[in-house]
Amino acid sequence: MTTFLNILLLMVGAASTMAAFGGKTWRDGPGPILERITTRGWISLFCLFLAVCLGITKEVSSQAAEKLAKSNSEKEHAAAIARAREAALQLKLANAGVDNLKLSAQSAQDKLQLTESKLEATETTLNEVRNNLTVTREELQQENNLGLLSVLATAKLAVTDVTFVIPLTRTGNASGIFYNALMPRKFPSICVAHTTVALVLGAPGDESGQGFEWLQYDPDDTEDQHDYASLSSDEISKGTELIGPSADALLAGEDYRDQVKYVVKAIGQASSNQTALVADIHFGQDGPSASGLIKALQQQDGRPITIISKNGHASQKQCSPLVKQYFASAFDKAYMRLTLNNPEHLTMFYSLKAITQFNDNGNWALPFVIDSKPAVSANDELGQVLRVEWPHDDPPNDNSREARPR
């Protein structure tokens, strides 16, 4: 607006000047003033008047614009001050929030430290309770064992049979021949020719403690069952040593699938290839003391079962590592059953577990030890596996000679 007025004012001023330029705006004479003014003069006067009006309008407009600009400037300044105050207030609030967060974090840290202290104290208490429970469990186990042994000794009960069941794991060799089941699947021919394997069973010895029954299997033995009581000396392996009448069998194939599955579940073995070894030592009605045999088997060095490989010197370096690796993967747990000579033919069951192998000049041995409390039953929980007519003994009944995995 101001620019437009300035231009218009210049034009009016120029028109006034041009109207007066080169001519008269005033006539000489005695007449009235208004009559003596020429047309050029009136034009010039009009332009001058218009210029004055435009000048006044310009000044008024300028003043109004200045006031408006000043007012806007004051408003903007006030707004800036307000914004600055708001920013300062927000900063104070933010600082206060940070302080609160610091306080909250410190409080949380203190609570965390307190909680950790309580957890450490609780863990210490739990460890003490756990240790006390372990000691108490061991003491109760010892008391139970002592009580069981005391009852067996008082009743003068004897063991008529000791039955062992050894299921193979999934990586074992599912074979119907003892030697093949106890040795690696891909065993080099030189190893087969120079390696024998034996099953050592815990049995009563003399009065000093535990004895052993040694069942040896040679590579040329292709049987899946032996009745050592009826076999002639020529038919028994030369390395086999017997304390009492014994028998063994292999549970392999679909016919024994459910029986092996039952045993595997009973002892808690993780996997199975549906094959198991069964061995039985028969003592008859006048067998060894049940309390003495159990005490011997439960001792620290008691080993109800040990699987042993015997390698010839020529093949020891090549075959021994294969046997060790196979023993570690093919065997995990085992099952032991004691049959008592009381009228009810009570049976006692134990779960066994394989422990660390030991090496005797390249001959690896895999021992099993008792891994459970005894379970006592008046019923034989296993399906029929062995039924041997032992000579010079009382006729067997349904319970005394049956090993029934179901």
Among the listed residues 133, 147, 176, 401, the one whose alpha carbon sits nearest the alpha carbon of residue 281? 401
Residue 160: pLDDT over 50: yes
pLDDT (tens digit, 9 = 90+) per residue, 48-102? 777 778 778 877 777 877 888 888 888 888 888 888 888 888 888 888 877 788 8
Predicted local distance difference test score (pLDDT) of residue 272: 93
Quick check: 17 and 7 in contact, CB under 8 A?
A: no
pLDDT (tens digit, 9 = 90+) per residue, 270-317? 999 999 999 988 887 778 888 788 877 777 567 889 999 987 765 677
**Given pLDDT bands bounded at 50, 70 and 90, which one contains residue 353?**
very high
User: Alpha-carbon distance 61 to 59, whole Å?
Assistant: 5
The arithmetic mean of pLDDT across residues 182-190, rounded, is: 89
Residue 209: pLDDT over 70: no
Quick check: 323 and 311 in contact, CB under 8 A?
A: yes
Which of 36-40, 102-106, 142-146 bottoms out in mean pLDDT, i.e. has the lowest? 142-146
Which of 188-202, 244-258, 321-335, 373-387 bottoms out in mean pLDDT, i.e. has the lowest? 373-387
Higher pLDDT, 326 or 359: 326
Predicted local distance difference test score (pLDDT) of residue 134: 57
- Distance in Å from the first CA to the final CA of the chain: 113
Residue 393: pLDDT over 50: no
Quick check: 212 and 205 in contact, CB under 8 A?
A: yes
Quick check: 213 and 284 in contact, CB under 8 A?
A: no
Higher pLDDT, 356 or 142: 356
Longest dimension (CA), the chain: 187
Which of 2-11, 130-139, 146-155, 337-346 bottoms out in mean pLDDT, i.e. has the lowest? 130-139
The arithmetic mean of pLDDT across residues 248-262, rounded, is: 86
Higher pLDDT, 365 or 122: 365
Predicted local distance difference test score (pLDDT) of residue 208: 43
User: Between β-strands 275-282 and 246-252, what pairing exists: parallel, antiparallel or unpaired?
Assistant: antiparallel
The arithmetic mean of pLDDT across residues 18-34, rounded, is: 65
Predicted local distance difference test score (pLDDT) of residue 105: 80
Give the HSE-up count for residue 276: Cα atoms under 13 Å, Cβ half-sphere.
34
**Given pLDDT bands bounded at 50, 70 and 90, which one contains residue 365?**
very high
Predicted local distance difference test score (pLDDT) of residue 405: 33
User: Alpha-carbon distance 72 to 94, whole Å?
Assistant: 32
Q: At what angle do helices 39-155 and 2-20 cross, to 10 degrees?
A: 170
Domain boundaries, the chain: 2-84, 158-377
User: Which position has the token pair 């040593």?
Assistant: 241
